[in-house]
């Protein structure tokens, strides 16, 4: 018997049947194109040689258009040349105490276009990931600075104190409550029918979820949901620090932080990219996890084990030094049965499998686990590096630069550290709209120092 330390954390298989079909199709298609171009060129040569009344321009235009389309087709074959499939073995990972911490970034901007209930479902699904709670930190970026979103996230936190333990206890496979209750089944883990205790608890959670949605709906009705384009930064850890007593379930809930960066009409905010920049800086001061999960506010975590699956690649000693991120493709459900417009993006899945066979897929902007080091380039730091050069890359915050050079510290009592006045002032600076001014950040691919 091999020990788990020697067994691979993941395997990669070439999809040989698809490979043969794709390459055979490319070969036959290529022969057809060569025959077509031979015909076009010989036809043009005959027209030029005979100098008859046949118009030359239409033939030239057709040839040019066919050359362009053929070139596009040729480029597309790269995504079909070597399709691969991967399988992970999360059970072979080291114990929870050896797993690295993860920061989750969720971005929202406008509660009018992105309903609060859906956004909070994404937040709740992230809190319910199958990962050690003290090593998971969820940040919600509210670019609109909406009071409704801020009040809603507090309600989401309260509901999570019931939902997350329920998911852990019964190993719920669908971490998003909205999607879970739509399944309308009475089965627990592995699809097996559970005891009366499970059914009673599920109905209780469903009732609490309905109450949560009613409260959020009331918040939306009673609160202005206008989007602010002129507001100061606001950063707050969502917890029960002000309560008289602390619920024991709180220890089972990951850290949740609300971030509304400063926005001024006179400063460009760079949309989602600007929001992620602020989250990167703010999280470095609070949790500074070496890995980051980025989610759009409408992309809930449909598989709670995704964090452990991603670590199967990041823990590979041969692959990890060359690995920047692990991409989980987007997938859409509740699609029309005919799905004539490919709403489930099946074609995209097949392309990503092909791109994975030739050094990896593109970054889709959501649903990926990326190394903080890949963004900040900490491996290039030298002990004798000029601090002034670092400030030109990463801004004026000394504390932020120190966190980058370390890029991962041991977890500590984050809430107490966060409430120190010095740290609060530093966070206000890092979330300001002018922090990036006169720096190389965003202008160079890597701040090599």
As annotated, the binding site includes: 113-114, 143, 272, 296
d(CA 220, CA 8): 49
As annotated, the binding site for Mn(2+) includes: 272, 296
In the chain, helix, strand, coil percent, each to 5? Answer: 50, 10, 40
Contacts of 286 (CB under 8 A, 6+ apart): 137, 237, 255, 257, 414, 417, 418, 427
d(CA 234, CA 264): 14
In the three-class reduction of DSSP (H, G, I as helix; E, B as strand; rest coil), residue 263 is classed as strand
d(CA 185, CA 203): 11
Q: Do 30 and 71 form a contact (C-beta atoms < 8 A)? A: no
Handedness of CA 320, 322, 323, 324 (dihedral sign): positive
Tokens of 79: 């995504």
Q: Do 327 and 364 form a contact (C-beta atoms < 8 A)? A: yes
As annotated, the binding site for UDP-alpha-D-glucose includes: 113-114, 143
Neighbours of 197 (CB within 10 A): 10
d(CA 68, CA 427): 51
Backbone angles phi, psi at 218, to 5 degrees: -65, -40
């Amino acid at each position: 018997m091999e020990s788990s330390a020697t067994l691979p954390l993941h395997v990669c298989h070439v999809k040989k049947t698809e490979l043969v079909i794709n390459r055979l199709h490319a070969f036959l298609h290529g022969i057809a194109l060569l025959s077509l171009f031979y015909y076009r060129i010989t036809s043009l040569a005959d027209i030029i040689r005979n100098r008859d009344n046949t118009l030359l321009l239409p033939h030239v235009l057709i040839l040019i258009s066919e050359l362009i389309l053929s070139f596009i087709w040729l480029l597309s074959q790269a995504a079909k040349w070597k399709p691969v499939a991967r399988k992970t073995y999360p059970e072979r990972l080291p114990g929870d105490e050896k797993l690295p911490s993860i920061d989750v970034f969720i971005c929202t901007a406008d509660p009018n276009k992105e309903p609060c209930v859906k956004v909070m479902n994404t937040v709740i699904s992230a809190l319910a990931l199958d990962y050690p709670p003290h090593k998971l930190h969820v940040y919600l970026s509210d670019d609109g600075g909406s009071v409704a979103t801020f009040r809603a996230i507090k309600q989401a936190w309260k509901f999570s104190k019931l939902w997350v333990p329920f998911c852990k206890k019964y190993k719920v496979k669908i971490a998003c409550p909205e999607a879970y209750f739509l399944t309308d089944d009475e089965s627990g883990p592995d699809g097996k029918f559970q005891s009366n205790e499970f059914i009673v608890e599920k109905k209780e959670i469903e009732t609490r979820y309905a109450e949560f949605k009613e409260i959020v709906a009331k918040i939306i009705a009673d609160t202005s949901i206008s989007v602010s384009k002129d507001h100061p930064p606001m950063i707050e850890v969502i917890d029960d620090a002000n309560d008289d007593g602390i619920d024991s379930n709180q220890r089972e809930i990951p850290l949740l932080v609300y971030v509304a960066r400063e926005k001024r009409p006179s400063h460009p905010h760079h949309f989602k990219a600007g929001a992620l920049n602020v989250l990167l800086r703010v999280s470095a001061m609070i949790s500074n996890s070496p890995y980051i999960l980025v989610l759009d506010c409408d992309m809930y975590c449909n598989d709670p084990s995704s964090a452990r699956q991603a670590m199967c690649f990041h823990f590979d000693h041969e692959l990890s030094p060359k690995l920047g991120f692990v991409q989980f493709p987007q997938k859409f459900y509740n699609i029309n049965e005919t799905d004539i417009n490919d709403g489930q993006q099946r074609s995209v899945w097949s392309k990503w499998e092909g791109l994975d066979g030739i050094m990896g897929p593109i970054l889709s902007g959501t649903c990926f686990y990326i190394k903080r080091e890949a963004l900040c380039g900490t491996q290039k730091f030298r002990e004798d590096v000029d601090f002034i050069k670092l400030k030109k890359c990463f801004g004026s915050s000394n504390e932020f630069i120190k966190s980058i050079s370390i890029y991962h510290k041991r977890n500590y009592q984050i809430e107490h550290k966060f409430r120190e006045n010095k740290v609060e002032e530093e966070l206000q600076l890092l979330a300001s709209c002018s922090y990036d001014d006169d720096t190389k950040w965003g202008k160079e691919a890597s701040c090599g120092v």
